[in-house]
Structure 1
């Protein structure tokens, strides 16, 4: 009975559903829609009225967002982030303003003075050390014994030639973790030179930093302050308008911009031939007062003399204005570069006497606009000219030079030639040391030119024709040879031989391939059967690539890694390591066309310890014909170049041989075919040679010069190529490794300390 009733009820419901299912579904859908619409109505009423302009992304009003509840697979609610319902995100050109609480800045507690200087002759370095001592004494004298948490720290001294500019002048150093209240203060002591120097590179860096859109224009504004003191020569430049302390003025200009006008004390001037020391003392006393004012008040404050008040530093606000005649020289970098018409270029190209446009050898920045009248590299009225001539150089034209080597005098007296004779067959009294470019792109710590030659990264000077240079250096060389005729011990037959130059070592000073017409100069040498030994510093790959055949091509390899090369060569190019690597690749390409040589100058404390493997990597990369390892020569004045070298940096010959044996062993381990070929113990020099120059178990490192010129002339006539093996000659027995390398036909003279007692050895 019960089952019958249930069956009748289910049949009735089913019949009702089939009859009324469409109306029921419509009613149910409508109900659900109304419920959802009702639930959404309150949230819509809270949003602002719609507008054609979307709300600003800077607004952090909570009405912009609603929190959405999300249910996971287990049914538990999950929190979701805020959902923007006002439209897509709008990208604007300014960063959103942070509305949170400002970050509290640590109050100033200590000032760390940083003294930066540049010095070619050592004068500015000496003054910088005087300033360092004065500030150190002031810090001790005015220290508060009751307050150990505030004061002036001992100053730090930095040579601009050694530092990486990015470490100090792209952004300011950060305070140490253990002393967050420490602020840095820059003291800059800068001389002014009339030739290119490291200062040009430094000022160029500041210029680029200020105009680099990726870097804040006030990137050094976290400094406590800065001040500049300049040294100049009023005899050469009597007034500021004529150039007195012009580079110091330019440095002060850029520092004011990069620090957001934090000049703490006015720019000081000192005349190196007058009151420089007294002026520096007065400037230092004023600077000390500023230090303690900053410590007392927590900053420069308003109204402090030199604090960047607009009335004093108004010229820093005139970027867009044309500079006046007085400061046009110091601010010439701001001038737009001239645009040259194609027809002008065509007309200029037909003018053979016109100087070539400046060629930029660095990727650090753009070269200045071409000047209508390029200046001389070494004018006769310049201090550089006087310094070089006092050192024995004969200046040829405006940028070339020649000098007699001490080994030339030694060979004329029958007392031996240099290592080039034992290893390659070059007699020193037949060799001329010259250069077509006195300028260099490095300031090597071991350079014996005393830092007096000009430096630069691109050629922008007057260009002398190669014929004038060639005739000038020959004339200068012969004049110096004739001056030696009265020296006791000069052999008549060698004096006669010396009046016919047979070899030219282009390694005197500067960078020979810097000269725009170096290939024409080489043609003039080879035209008179004068061999060419050219040395370059691996910083000009484009010039090296275009260099034509030389008798022997040297590349100075003064370090095995980037950091060591930066410290020892002090290159001006910011991409110096990349240039160095490109030069090695080029040298590998040239190894089958001409004799290539790695020149390693070893300096204790710089490039010897733990660098054998690194040097072996470089040899493996370039595969030079020869690896020439030589100890540095100390000439007594290296410290004047800011390097601080002493006799302790000069390796003993035993240390040189130990290094060479280790390098040779590493090359053998790698399967590179090199061997110990020759030596010249007197010069602390050892030669590693490729097995290419070992024939019938005998080394052939010397050069058959007559054969070289014969092959060269044939190549020019009909294009017949030749290789380094085609003009090699057998090495003399006395020059081989283990035999010392002194020519037995000469007389060796030993000197015993200061009494100069001489002992001869036949």
Structure 2
């Protein structure tokens, strides 16, 4: 397959010029704004550039991983195809022609042609090499688009046709329609966009969807603006035959998240490419589980070899020894493992990753529990950490303990500004690579390049980072809110921590024995540290959360002890979630039998609230994540819940320099997010998709999308 990809790219590299020797110039320029002397900052920060092997700024075959080319994009020919009933699509196509003929920005276009789709011989698409743009009107009546749509569908499902038959095409589709037609709104345009991708064509920009019942002209202008911005990056015009991996052979056209990860760093042999695996997906995990066993065996062998080293020097030790030189936290082997799991490594000890909910949000398929509980939209959220190291080896660790562990910081320390810039640039790079996924909404794609929230909960212990306060300040200066999660083993760091938007403590067990069994901490005084952390939390005066992960047969029978911990830490909220089974890791003996049902989580929450005896109530839920939010009644104002956050108000209060508390920046919880609501925490403005046979509202022999 790799030979085929290389042949395709070399066969068409003469179509688009990407500037002279760009890759080598990037690699030699320090990375992201460096000079030829290699002494300037990496990613425009104050830190010196680092090479890929040292875990610093990553350099790939195209140069620096977080850079974009300043060289102009040269395009020989752009063809704009339109299909119209009332003339709107033709008008929009001509507007686009005018804009492209002006060679906007960093793009040089030799020729632009506009034509009606009915005047073009469809079979010529098999040999077409121009950049093809489709402005297509579709309604629920017969129209000029029908023939082209039927031809594309036949081409896609004809077993005699090569699945790479349209591999020479780079394309983008913008649909025009009327949302009053419900499920038929822009359906033909969406199908054509999907089928072109499945036939090997390279998608330049996500599908546009312009509604006649709204401001269609403004929506089209927004789509064109985003499309032209993509053209200004020469890499957007490269051929990517691998895009066909995004499209399933399944008639239901459901795209597997594992396949989505292939283009952003996760490998086929990676078991934990996403942080959540639905129960119905476990049948697909057999090969990944086998690979995980092999990987784990290699890791355990390396660990055993490390243990065999002498613990003390032998012989004459009178001579003073040199101070140990700090090393990179991310070793080459660790870098390989984390990259396989979809991480982007920043510097020597930080990381960022796209979560499954970001991908779902980009496709309009819902948001994670933080949207239901606190009003965060997943496509505007970056999941990251400034420290991949941790002081625990939890049995339910999503990453199967591929991250390092330690009780003290013994590694190199990167500059906070360097980490923030590296996190954002790598996050945006991964977002950009999702533009070829069918179903990605153009407006969400554009919005995703303005991160509004940072979840410091990826892996490891973020509060372990020596400059955590400076790091958080750098995020707040960009008006990026922060949710920081700690494992409650560094109480002094909690006490020193300055204002964050919301502070979490993982409360995985309620007794010393069960905490040791579940978290497997490194510290001998782990229980004393845990209790001291809860005491520090109670004095913070800001929004605080207990995060409880229920593991059946491990910690579900400790109700009374949890009550004592809640009274001690006095959190604003208590998030209770059933553990997610992440497959075999070789590091724990958890099975699907340890995963509680949502009804079991609800029952535990009811009993917990009753045992607390007042001051807390069930406030919200997100059934898809098997999550319940218990909130302090302080956030129930005039009989209505205010668990959401007024983010602009938070930054206004922060910038004022005046003291404020958790009730000063609350926002009302929407009705669909409340506990017991029929939507069960799923935003009704989103579209819920079911896999085959999983839709409770339809015949199990078909797979359809329904709005919940």
TM-score normalized by structure 1? 0.52
Distance 1:435 1:125 in 2: 23
User: Is structure 2 residue 568 aligned with structure 1 residue 621?
Assistant: yes
Write out aligned runs for 1:226-245 (5 A).
245=305
| Contact 1:121 1:452 survives alignment (8 Å) | no
Q: Which residue of 1 aligns with 2:581?
A: 634
Q: Which residue of 1 aligns with 2:554?
A: 606
Write out aligned runs for 1:690-705 (5 A).
690-705=632-647
Look up the SS of the partner of 2:522 in the other structure. Answer: coil
**1:712 equivalent among 645, 650, 654:** 654
How many Å apart are 1:542 and its aligned residue?
1.0
The structure with higher relative contact order (CA 8 Å, sep 6+) is: 2
| Contact 2:574 2:631 survives alignment (8 Å) | yes
Distance 2:582 2:292 in 1: 15
| Contact 1:418 1:683 survives alignment (8 Å) | yes
Look up the SS of the partner of 2:518 in the other structure. Answer: helix
Distance 2:320 2:687 in 1: 62
Distance 1:542 1:746 in 2: 42
Q: Which residue of 1 aligns with 2:491?
A: 541
RMSD between superposed Cα atoms in Å: 2.3
| Contact 1:387 1:452 survives alignment (8 Å) | yes
Q: Which residue of 1 aligns with 2:338?
A: 388
Look up the SS of the partner of 1:192 in the other structure. Answer: helix
Distance 2:706 2:503 in 1: 34
Distance 1:641 1:464 in 2: 32
**1:460 and 1:745, CA in 2 relative to 1: closer, same or farther beyond 3 A?**
same
Distance 1:714 1:746 in 2: 36
Distance 2:602 2:629 in 1: 10
How many Å apart are 1:642 and its aligned residue?
1.5
Distance 1:125 1:729 in 2: 45
Alignment deviations for residues 389-448 of structure 1 (CA, whole Å, 9 cap, x no partner): 011000000000000010000011111000000000000000000100011110111111
Q: Which residue of 2 aligns with 1:460?
A: 410
| Contact 2:351 2:388 survives alignment (8 Å) | yes
Look up the SS of the partner of 2:691 in the other structure. Answer: strand
Look up the SS of the partner of 2:585 in the other structure. Answer: helix
Q: Which residue of 2 aligns with 1:425?
A: 375
Look up the SS of the partner of 2:530 in the other structure. Answer: helix
Question: Which ranges in structure 1 are unaligned for 5 or more consecutive residues?
Answer: 1-119, 128-188, 194-229, 231-244, 255-317, 323-334, 339-368
Distance 2:549 2:306 in 1: 37
Distance 1:121 1:438 in 2: 20
Question: Which ranges in structure 2 are unaligned for 5 or more consecutive residues?
Answer: 1-290, 695-699
**2:445 equivalent among 495, 507, 515:** 495
Alignment deviations for residues 107-156 of structure 1 (CA, whole Å, 9 cap, x no partner): xxxxxxxxxxxxx97569879xxxxxxxxxxxxxxxxxxxxxxxxxxxxx
**2:602 equivalent among 651, 654, 657:** 657
Write out aligned runs for 1:291-690 (5 A).
319=314, 321-322=316-317, 370-371=323-324, 373-379=325-331, 382-590=332-540, 592=541, 594-608=542-556, 610-636=557-583, 639-668=584-613, 672-690=614-632
Q: Which residue of 2 aligns with 1:732?
A: 670
**1:459 and 1:491, CA in 2 relative to 1: closer, same or farther beyond 3 A?**
same
| Contact 1:559 1:607 survives alignment (8 Å) | yes
Distance 2:551 2:515 in 1: 12
Distance 2:320 2:398 in 1: 38
Distance 1:653 1:545 in 2: 35
**1:439 and 1:658, CA in 2 relative to 1: closer, same or farther beyond 3 A?**
same
| Contact 1:678 1:687 survives alignment (8 Å) | yes
| Contact 2:296 2:586 survives alignment (8 Å) | no
Q: Which residue of 2 aligns with 1:220?
A: none
**1:757 and 1:389, CA in 2 relative to 1: closer, same or farther beyond 3 A?**
farther
**1:192 equivalent among 273, 297, 302:** 302
Distance 2:537 2:415 in 1: 28
**1:583 and 1:121, CA in 2 relative to 1: closer, same or farther beyond 3 A?**
farther
| Contact 2:693 2:703 survives alignment (8 Å) | no
How many Å apart are 1:629 and its aligned residue?
0.3
How many Å apart are 1:617 and its aligned residue?
0.7
Distance 1:550 1:741 in 2: 25
Look up the SS of the partner of 1:459 in the other structure. Answer: coil
**1:125 and 1:437, CA in 2 relative to 1: closer, same or farther beyond 3 A?**
closer
| Number of residues of Structure 1 aligned to a counterpart in Structure 2 | 410
Alignment deviations for residues 139-194 of structure 1 (CA, whole Å, 9 cap, x no partner): xxxxxxxxxxxxxxxxxxxxxxxxxxxxxxxxxxxxxxxxxxxxxxxxxx97334x
Look up the SS of the partner of 1:742 in the other structure. Answer: coil
Distance 2:587 2:478 in 1: 41
How many Å apart are 1:319 and its aligned residue?
4.8
Q: Which residue of 1 aligns with 2:706?
A: 761
Distance 2:393 2:588 in 1: 9
Look up the SS of the partner of 2:690 in the other structure. Answer: strand
**1:370 and 1:632, CA in 2 relative to 1: closer, same or farther beyond 3 A?**
farther
User: Is structure 2 residue 682 aligned with structure 1 residue 742?
Assistant: yes
Look up the SS of the partner of 2:308 in the other structure. Answer: helix
**1:370 and 1:695, CA in 2 relative to 1: closer, same or farther beyond 3 A?**
farther
| Contact 1:445 1:641 survives alignment (8 Å) | no
**1:641 and 1:426, CA in 2 relative to 1: closer, same or farther beyond 3 A?**
farther
Alignment deviations for residues 615-646 of structure 1 (CA, whole Å, 9 cap, x no partner): 1110011110000000111122xx32420211
**1:705 and 1:641, CA in 2 relative to 1: closer, same or farther beyond 3 A?**
farther
**1:489 and 1:457, CA in 2 relative to 1: closer, same or farther beyond 3 A?**
same
Distance 2:309 2:651 in 1: 54
Distance 2:640 2:320 in 1: 60
| Contact 2:365 2:687 survives alignment (8 Å) | yes
TM-score normalized by structure 2? 0.56
